[in-house]
Amino acid sequence: MKNIVLIGFMGVGKGSVAREVIKHSDYIAIDTDDLIESMENRKIKSIFELEGEEYFRKLEKKVAHWLEQSVKDTLISTGGGFYKQKNIKKIGTIVLLDSPFDEIIKRIKEHPNALKKLKKRPLLQDLQKAKEIYDVRRPDYLKLADVVIDVTNKPALECARELLKKVKKL
Ligand code: S3P
């Protein structure tokens, strides 16, 4: 089994889809943000506040190197900016979870934990700026992806099933 690398914008549902994939397959799942938080023993929000984005990106680079060298048979959820890591294609099959910006924001706002979900993401504090980031990233996400799943209005389980089917066919 080749690694699966889940990419996509903040709040698109990478974590939820990953949890369904592992329920219905032999994959183990890890998350680059969780790895960074445990390496640093503090939250992403405080890493951004105290050290800045550049420091965070260096940690992502370290994680990317480790993933390439040491991880196999794994579903890897990534932070929305992880796609910039130069070796990402060497880590595994890239699966993009795709949805229009407004739908992603709607999805977050409708979540029972909406406030927490918004607060923990430093780059989602200003929605106008977030939209600009989305517009820059989306073409790059699409270029990188081996598989694209449109997650708009689709339950995580359905997305997970589609993902496993499409990855199997590669
Ligand atoms: C980021 C996305 C976040 C997290 C950090 C930066 C980004 O992860 O890595 O706040 O640059 O898009 P999620 O995509 O899980 O929100």
Structure confidence by residue, pLDDT tens digits, 33-67? 999 999 999 999 999 999 999 999 999 999 999 99
Q: What is the pLDDT of residue 132?
A: 98
CA distance 132 to 115: 21
Q: How confident is the model at residue 154 (pLDDT cuts 50, 70, 90)?
A: very high
pLDDT higher than 90, residue 1: no
Domain assignment present for 45: yes
- Output phi, psi for 131, to 5 deg: -65, -40
Tell me if 130 CB under 6 Å of ligand 1. Answer: no
Span from the CA of 79 to the centroid of ligand 1 (angstroms): 4
Residue 23 is part of a domain; what is its CATH number? Answer: 3.40.50.300
Span from the CA of 27 to the centroid of ligand 1 (angstroms): 23
Tell me if 8 CB under 6 Å of ligand 1. Answer: no
Q: Which range marks the domain in which residue 156 is found? A: 4-164
Structure confidence by residue, pLDDT tens digits, 59-100? 999 999 999 999 999 999 999 999 999 999 999 999 999 999
CA distance 14 to 21: 10
* Cut 0.85: pTM above it: yes
Tell me if 79 CB under 6 Å of ligand 1. Answer: yes
Per the structure, the count of domains in the chain is 1
